[in-house]
Structure 1
Amino acid sequence: MPSTSVRPATTRRGLWGRHVRWSMAGLCSLSFVVNYIDRTTLSVALPYMSADIHLTPTEQGLALSAFFATYALAQLPAGALIDKHGVRRVFGIGAFVWGAVTMLMSLVRGPILLIIGRLVLGVGESVGYPGCAKVVSKWFPKSERALANSVWDNGSRVGAVIALPLVTGIVALFDWRWAFVFTGGLALLWVVLWFFTYRDPDRHPKLTAEERALLVEGGARLGDEETGAGPKIRWRSLFRYRTVWSMMIGFFCLNYVLFFFITWFPSYLVQERGFDLLKLGIFGVIPGIVAIGGSLLGGYTSDLLLRRGWSLTKARKTCLVSGLLLSSVIGGAVLVESAAAALVLLSISYASLAFTGASIASLPADVAPTARQVSSLAGIQNFASNIAGVSGPLITGALVALGGGSYLVPLLVSGAVAIAGAVVYGVGLREVAPLPLPTQ
């Protein structure tokens, strides 16, 4: 039986020895940088692929949407598998799958294999969100949990920004096939780094006794799934809790608004505000950049309130409710005359969503009945959020079409959905605390 004790590394005084937990957060952030680069490679390379292998618009649409179908559904088993078999093993295997299949997409000659590849990519990348939530739950005390979650969550924004110049540069210098080889290779390099450097706290050789005491005393979820110790809870039992449904519906509402920025935002600037390509390239990135700061501020604020003596419930719910309420200013963007004013409101909205996201990512660790359910809960709430990721852009498109190209109704609806999400977190989420063990 493996030992779970840690050598008290009292002689280590370097930054690594004092702050191993933040290196773990950085490792997770890097995974999301690569994650988003890999999932975005097709979007950037698609115009060149289509000309080469003769893809119809319908086939292109199927290839793009196939990823989200399996990505959403696979959240549920991914979270459960991480809880059962450990984050190091399952996260590493999932990242290997998404890196390998990205590289293999360089070999496609037609739509069938491309669509299959995107389906498999969604399965592989599904380990990202529940995996990072699990790492933070193990490696951080409650008072640092939200900020740590904002660190890895911002990896997605950095990856989305890097993907465009990186992939277009590779395509211009070489070929679209080499873009898949290179970006998939990044994931495989991350897998090597992951297996060489990640260990759970009780098995990490560089964790000092001082830092471990900080985790234990601060409420880190240090339960060891692989020993099989502790009460076993059926996965489906988690759906009995009102708190879990509040987490699902609230995250659905946030992602409904968020996916406007991921999908329809450029079209809005061009069609509604008259931006040309140059203006779109210069000003279109502003909300995303502001959102990075919003995410870090959200994590810092939630943790600061907790350190100042606020209850976990009050600290988390304050950030959840206020962030979603402020994000509803997206509805005001269509009511102002100035394009600059609209861009300011949209930047505030996007940053407020990111502000909220840090506390949302902390909820699975905050409320899991035992450490063995953290990833399962993360997968459940991220599954619900990705239903919004699929349905939200479709609803927005339908409303734009019904309005004759106007974004008035779609953005007002988005603002209303944000307010609904704030109500769900404010009223439905009664307490942020470990859930009682269900009766079997």
Structure 2
Amino acid sequence: MATSGEAARVSGTRLFWVVALLALSVLLNYVDRGAIGVAAPLMIEELDFTATEFGTAVSAFFWVYAPLCLFVGWLCDRFCVYRMFAAGIALWALATLLTGFVHGLALLVVLRLLLGLGESIAFPGSSKIFAAEVPAHHRGSANALIGAALAFGPAVGVLTGGAILEALGWRPIFWIFGLVTLLWLVPWHFASGPLRSDRVTTPVVDPVPMRRLFAIPTLWSMGVAHFMSNYGFYFLLAWLPLYLTKTLGYSIAEMTLLTTLSFTTQGVSALVVGRLSDMAVTRGADEARVRRWLMIAGQALLGVAVTGIWFASDAWSLACWLAVAGIGTGFVSVNLFAVAQIFAGPRAAGGWVGIQNAIGNASGIVGPLITGIIVDQMGSYGLAFGIAAGVAIAGAIWWLLVIPPIRTIET
């Protein structure tokens, strides 16, 4: 019979694999979500889309994804989040795979809606598990894995997708990515098995009513902050490959390298800042102060970098600004959800992050449409870059002046 120490080690080992698979799911989330941006240079030509039509297809993902985060967050506080992850990933993998068969805007929009439906589990679900299971002095590292996955997902997607695009065309990108995502279900089935039982599961005792969460002003402030952090990231994720190839004239191979540089830098930044922030907290630093200032720095860096990308005059300066954008976004990706988990506490984490994510991802609805209209009407990305930079800088000011003291709110 196992001793209590042995049981704790088994539990810790199993939790490690669950966290690792959650991070992998976020990586696949952004590989699949960003595939449309990688495919864009050839997809737009074959399907004869305008920039506005392409922006509509990108935006369609968020029509469902953003509002559904509210409902999914509510579910995560009441039902088995491990089963919900499996169902969500199966749906978004199939939506990705089927996108390789589209021949017009209508079906593409439908599949983007289904992709948003499946992917809506990722952040409310992972935050629910982290808030319930991960201690404070490991919170930065756990969220750093998610933040790194959020960055390495686009990096992997651009690197592999770019190679597929150049060798096989745009359709196989979706077929291959969708099949790979389906394979995630196999290790998840075994790693989460005992956690799906009634005996060992994420606590759902006395969940906080959503109406009570909606009445908390801090949650709305965090939603606005989330919107401003997402706007620039989604702008680069959706439009950078097209801008580099069609406006600046880089080849698909050159676009792949430059875009991968930005997202790889973001992933490394997330891992480093997550570890360093945990070390600072362990040594007695105030966690709230550490995470606030990292958010301020990250938003400011992203805003300056987006401006620099627009004015870059050669490949080297462009690469440097893309790296700075990656560093800033890495800071943000680690701390945004960590702060939400502090505010919410274990009982409300699913619902809180669901609401916050819904508000924040409204940027994915309006941003691509605004950019598409600007490009079609003005024939230039200048104003679109200016808006993305301005929103990021406004985010830094918001964290400095508006976000209240960071501590768990009684709900």
Distance 1:269 1:320, change over 3 A: same
SS, match of residue 372 in structure 1: helix
- 1: CA distance, partners of 2:25 / 2:129: 12
- 2: CA distance, partners of 1:223 / 1:348: 38
Aligned to 2:203: 224
Identity %: 28
From 227, 232, 236, the equivalent of 1:257 is: 232
Q: Is 1:378 matched with 2:343?
A: no
Kindly state the Cα deviation for residue 320 of structure 1 after the two structures are TM-superposed: 1.3
The amino acid across from 2:293 in the alignment is: T
From 6, 10, 30, the equivalent of 2:5 is: 10
Across the aligned residues of Structure 1 and Structure 2, the Cα RMSD in angstroms comes to 3.7
**C-alpha contact (below 8 Å) 1:332/1:412 kept by paired residues:** no
Aligned to 2:276: 301
Kindly state the Cα deviation for residue 352 of structure 1 after the two structures are TM-superposed: 0.8
Kindly state the Cα deviation for residue 291 of structure 1 after the two structures are TM-superposed: 0.9
Distance 1:298 1:402, change over 3 A: farther
TM-score (normalizing by structure 2): 0.84
- 1: CA distance, partners of 2:227 / 2:356: 8
Aligned to 2:49: 57
**C-alpha contact (below 8 Å) 2:99/2:174 kept by paired residues:** yes
Correspondences of 1:64-79 after superposition (within 5 Å)? 64-79=58-73
From 24, 33, 50, the equivalent of 1:30 is: 24
What whole-Å deviation, never above 9, does each CA across 1:378-423 have from its counterpart, x for those lacking one? 122222222112322333455556766262x443443332221122
What whole-Å deviation, never above 9, does each CA across 1:300-333 have from its counterpart, x for those lacking one? 2332222121223212212111221232222244
**C-alpha contact (below 8 Å) 1:223/1:372 kept by paired residues:** no
Q: Is 1:426 matched with 2:405?
A: no
**C-alpha contact (below 8 Å) 1:138/1:200 kept by paired residues:** no
Aligned to 1:241: 216
User: For structure 1, which segment, 98-107 or 384-393, has the greater mean C-alpha deviation from structure 2 after superposition?
Assistant: 98-107
Distance 1:420 1:171, change over 3 A: closer
Aligned to 1:214: none
Kindly state the Cα deviation for residue 36 of structure 1 after the two structures are TM-superposed: 2.8
Q: Is 1:355 matched with 2:331?
A: yes
Aligned to 1:218: none
User: For structure 1, which segment, 187-196 or 106-115, has the greater mean C-alpha deviation from structure 2 after superposition?
Assistant: 106-115
The amino acid across from 1:426 in the alignment is: L
- 1: CA distance, partners of 2:87 / 2:252: 40
TM-score (normalizing by structure 1): 0.79
Aligned to 2:390: 416
Distance 1:234 1:398, change over 3 A: same
Q: Which has the higher contact order (CA 8 A, sep 6+)?
A: 2
SS, match of residue 85 in structure 1: coil
User: For structure 1, which segment, 192-201 or 126-135, has the greater mean C-alpha deviation from structure 2 after superposition?
Assistant: 192-201
- 1: CA distance, partners of 2:310 / 2:44: 35
- 1: CA distance, partners of 2:218 / 2:72: 21
The amino acid across from 2:356 in the alignment is: Q
When Rg is computed on C-alpha atoms for both structures, the one with the higher figure is: 1
Correspondences of 1:168-317 after superposition (within 5 Å)? 180-198=174-192, 224-225=203-204, 229-230=205-206, 232-269=207-244, 275-317=250-292
**C-alpha contact (below 8 Å) 1:316/1:432 kept by paired residues:** no
Structure 1: tracts of 5 or more residues without a match = 1-5, 208-221
Distance 1:88 1:398, change over 3 A: same
SS, match of residue 410 in structure 2: coil
- 1: CA distance, partners of 2:319 / 2:35: 27
User: For structure 1, which segment, 306-315 or 329-338, has the greater mean C-alpha deviation from structure 2 after superposition?
Assistant: 329-338
Distance 1:154 1:412, change over 3 A: same
Kindly state the Cα deviation for residue 334 of structure 1 after the two structures are TM-superposed: 4.2
Distance 1:167 1:268, change over 3 A: closer
Kindly state the Cα deviation for residue 103 of structure 1 after the two structures are TM-superposed: 4.3
The amino acid across from 1:57 in the alignment is: F
Aligned to 1:343: 319
- 1: CA distance, partners of 2:226 / 2:244: 26
- 2: CA distance, partners of 1:291 / 1:253: 17
Structure 2: tracts of 5 or more residues without a match = none
Distance 1:94 1:347, change over 3 A: same
Kindly state the Cα deviation for residue 141 of structure 1 after the two structures are TM-superposed: 0.8
- 2: CA distance, partners of 1:61 / 1:436: 41
From 157, 165, 188, the equivalent of 1:163 is: 157
